[in-house]
Amino acid sequence: MTDVEMLKKITGEGDEELLSLLLSMAEEKVLSLANRRKMIYPLKPAVREWATVAYNRMGMQGETSRSEGGISSAFAEIPKDIETVIKRYRLGRIGGHAYEKEPNEELPPEEEENGEGS
């Protein structure tokens, strides 16, 4: 199942172009926060989750909190569970450069164990 199909099922949205755009924007943000240039497999769930959050927040851009009918809601820039995953795979910078080396990091774990993809 593709990321767009997963997001389609989660959100109930039928517009695949919109979902692809949300996934693309979420991937850019995740890569930026992780100091990476290419997506690795362990960060894929964070991208899907962030795209879902972006979909749910459509129409509320720029709001930090909302109060309606006695119910108050506050919005974090990035949800803690997504931030935790990104921090786990974030590359440190040395001399202003982030080094990406892990050769099979972009493969799903089951493919790495079988030695495929090399």
Question: pLDDT digits over 80-110, tens only?
Answer: 899 999 999 998 877 777 667 655 555 565 5
Chain-centroid distance, C-alpha 88: 13
- Tokens in use for 51? 């795209």
pLDDT confidence tier of residue 16, bands split at 50, 70 and 90:
very high
- CB neighbourhood size of 66 (10 A): 11
At a CB cut-off of 8 Å and minimum separation 6, what does 106 contact?
38, 39, 40, 41
Nearest CA-CA partner of 88 in 36, 52, 17: 36
